[in-house]
Structure 1
Amino acid sequence: MRILVVGAGATGGFFGGRLAQAGRDVTFLVRERRAQQLRRDGLVIVSPNGDVTLTPKLVTGDELGADYDLVFFTVKSYGLDQAIADIAPAVGPETMILPVLNGMRHLDVLVERFGEHRVLGGLCAISGTLDADGTIRQLAQQPQHVAYGDRKDPRSARLQAVHEQFSDAGFPTTLPPDIIQSMWQKWVFLSSMATITCLMRGPIGQVVAAPGGTQFAESVVAECAAIATANGHPMPADELDRTLTTVTTPGSTFAASMFRDLSQGYPIEADHIIGDLLARAEAHDVPAPLVRLAYTHLSVYQQSLAR
């Protein structure tokens, strides 16, 4: 299977690098600056689970042409439109597209551009960062993982072909029976974390130590879970308990990646993760005042970046 990994940052570089290390046929679609860096230094992964330096197969947008069997879509949501334009030459009649972006809006955009049958569902968990020198650094020891599914037929032959490629490649994989439900569960968790830590401008431990902090965090989770329920994807009790425990743990240094990006003056995925969730709340008349406040707050930040 010919695999095109879109992006070689912390997510694409890590999972694509492990796939390449396991002998899969992987090519990275990257910008020219990143291509120069990778040609000079190699693809470097520093991880508690094993370091590696690879000589990756690379292609830039103006060089892309041949059909690929699988496009592994790992870019941030604010790079979605440009990445879609970039990959178009690589998408043939039977090409599968596996996105692991957060939220749900990207599925609608990809389906509109490439058709319902090409787009799989997927998500990943990774705690990592891209250093200034291009090194991909895994921040947590627990294995990073990828989950994926055929949105229409969870037992399809093409999904099994993808699973064969991703299995035993240096990270755990799962085949949820309902990938859309799994994506919603992750979305509730991420949007809760982002709303809490970005709005309060601090990690979970600082929030719950503040007067009213625990009640605030619980109220945010309740809003996000209510939105999911109204859209036909209620949170299972164990997942809801796990989320509530995570956002109310005293002394926790845990914070959303959006908060880390916000703190460093980087672009954020506010529209894709918080704004789209709020739109789906409004479509079902679900009150979400805290999520709305967070979106207003983050929108002001995005305006400052634009200036």
Structure 2
Amino acid sequence: MRILVVGAGAVGGYFGGRMALGGADVTFLVREARAQELAEHGLVIKSPKGDATLANVKTVLSARIDAPYDLILLSCKAYDLDSAMDAFAPAVGPSTTILPLLNGMRHLDVLRGRFGQASVLGGVCLIAATLDASRAIVQMTNMHTIVFGELDGTQSARVDAIAAALRTGGFDVEAIDAIVQQMWEKWVFLATLAGSTCLFRASVGDILAAPGGQVAMRTLFDECAAVAAEHGHAMREPFAERSRAMLFAQGSPLTASMLRDIENGLRTEGDHVLGDLLARRRANQPAGAPPTLLELAYTHVKAYEARHGR
């Protein structure tokens, strides 16, 4: 199976690098500067699961794609989706499968609108990783999982084949028939974490220690979960229990990557993680409904973007 990983950043570089190290046929679609970095220094992974360096990294520029790939693994930021699609479009053929690992849900409609419904799977990744100053990939926890499946809930031969290819990387892989439900659940958790830590500019532990912090966290989680329920994806109790354990862990240093983006003056996924969820909530709310914490969190992020021109 020929696999094209779009980008070689923290997420795509980690999963693609692990697969390449395991013997999979992986090529990274990158810009020229990143291609040069990888040619000179290799793809470096620093991880509690074991450090590794992939030498002789296979890369390609968009203009030099000359044949379709079997699988496209897409892990860009949601706001880069349009440019990413333009870049990997030459790699899409009649039998190509696109596996996106983006946050939220809106990207599914965009991808299916351009490449056809049959080309796109649903997926989520569970990993905390970043690029350090030397452009090495740093995995910050032991968690490294890809969960994916057919959007219509069926089992298929292509899902089985893709699962086998992914497992060459040694990370955890789950092929499931309820991927849309899992995507909604991750969205609820992420929106709660991003909304709270960005709104209060603090970690989970700091929020919980503040007067009213636990009430605010619970309120925001309930608001996000209510949107999912209104769209037919009520939170399953095992997920809700795991989420509450992380969101209400006293002393936890946990923050969302969106807060780190704000602290570093970078662009955020506020429109895709918070704004899209809010839009879906408003669609089912009467005019003049009072503002919610979700709305305040989104306003906070948009005010930051306006001030910094993001």
Measured against aligned partners, the alpha-carbon deviations of 1:272-302 in whole angstroms (never above 9, x if no partner) come to 1111111111122286611111111101111
Q: Which runs of 5+ in 1 are unaligned?
A: none
Quote the Cα distance in structure 1 between the aligned partners of 2:222 and 2:171.
32
For 2:177, the equivalent position in structure 1 comes to 177
Structure 1 residue 131: Cα displacement? 1.2
Alignment map for 1:18-167 (pairs within 5 Å): 18-54=18-54, 55-140=56-141, 142-167=142-167
Whether the 8 Å CA contact 1:176–1:182 is kept in 2: the answer is no
Deviations 1:39-92 (A, max 9, x none): 110000011111111121001122123100000001111111000011111000
C-alpha separation between the residues in 1 aligned to 2:178 and 2:242? 19
Structure 1 residue ranges (4+ consecutive) displaced by more than 6 angstroms after TM superposition: none
Alignment partner of 2:95: what SS?
strand
Q: Which amino acid aligns with 1:82?
A: S
In 2, the alpha carbon distance for the partners of 1:39 and 1:208 equals 46
The whole-number CA distance in structure 2 between the counterparts of 1:241 and 1:24 is 36
For residue 126 of structure 1, give the secondary structure of its aligned residue in structure 2. strand
Identity of aligned pairs, percent? 48
Partners of 1:205 and 1:249 within 8 A in 2: yes
- TM-score relative to the length of structure 2: 0.96
2:304 is aligned to: 301
User: After alignment, is 92-101 or 129-138 more displaced?
Assistant: 129-138
Displacement of 1:132: 2.2
Deviation at 1:265, TM superposition (A): 1.2
Query: CA offsets per residue over residues 95-118 of structure 1, 9 Å max, x none?
Result: 000000011010010001000000
Query: How far apart, in 1, do the equivalents of 2:242 and 2:128 lie?
Result: 18
Measured in 1, the distance between the counterparts of 2:299 and 2:127 equals 28
Alpha-carbon distance, 1:245 to partner: 2.5
Cα drift, residue 168 of structure 1: 4.1
Residues of 1 paired with 2:66 and 2:306: CA distance? 37
Within 1, Cα distance between the matches of 2:86 and 2:252?
41
Whether contact under 8 Å (2:19, 2:167) holds in the other structure is no
| Contact residue 227 and residue 281 of structure 1 kept, 8 A | yes
Q: How many Å separate the matches in 1 of 2:60 and 2:273? A: 29
Distance in 1 (CA, whole Å) between partners of 2:38 and 2:267 is 23
> What's the TM-score once normalised by structure 1's chain length?
0.97
CA deviations 1:235-279 (Å, max 9, x no partner) are 012211222222122111011111111111111100111111111
Counterpart of 1:169 in structure 2: which amino acid?
G
Measured after TM superposition, the shift of residue 153 of structure 1 is 4.7
CA distance in 1, matches of 2:118, 2:153: 10
Instruction: Give unpaired runs (5+ residues) of structure 2.
Output: none
* RMSD after superposition: 1.3
DSSP-derived class of the 1:249 partner: coil
**Residues 153, 177 of structure 2: 8 Å contact kept:** no
Aligned-residue offset at 1:305: 3.0
CA–CA separation in structure 2 for the residues paired with 1:159 and 1:123: 14
Question: Does the residue aligned with 1:72 lie in a helix, a strand or coil?
Answer: strand
Query: 150-159 vs 111-120, which deviates more?
Result: 150-159
1:289 aligns with 2:292: yes
The 1:150/1:259 distance shift into structure 2, 3 A limit, reads same
Aligned residues: 306
2:204 counterpart residue number: 204
Please report how far the alpha carbon of residue 194 of structure 1 lies from its aligned counterpart in structure 2 after TM superposition. 0.5
Q: 126-135 or 238-247, which moves further after superposition?
A: 238-247
Matched AA of 1:298: V
2:49 and 2:244 mapped to 1: Cα distance?
29
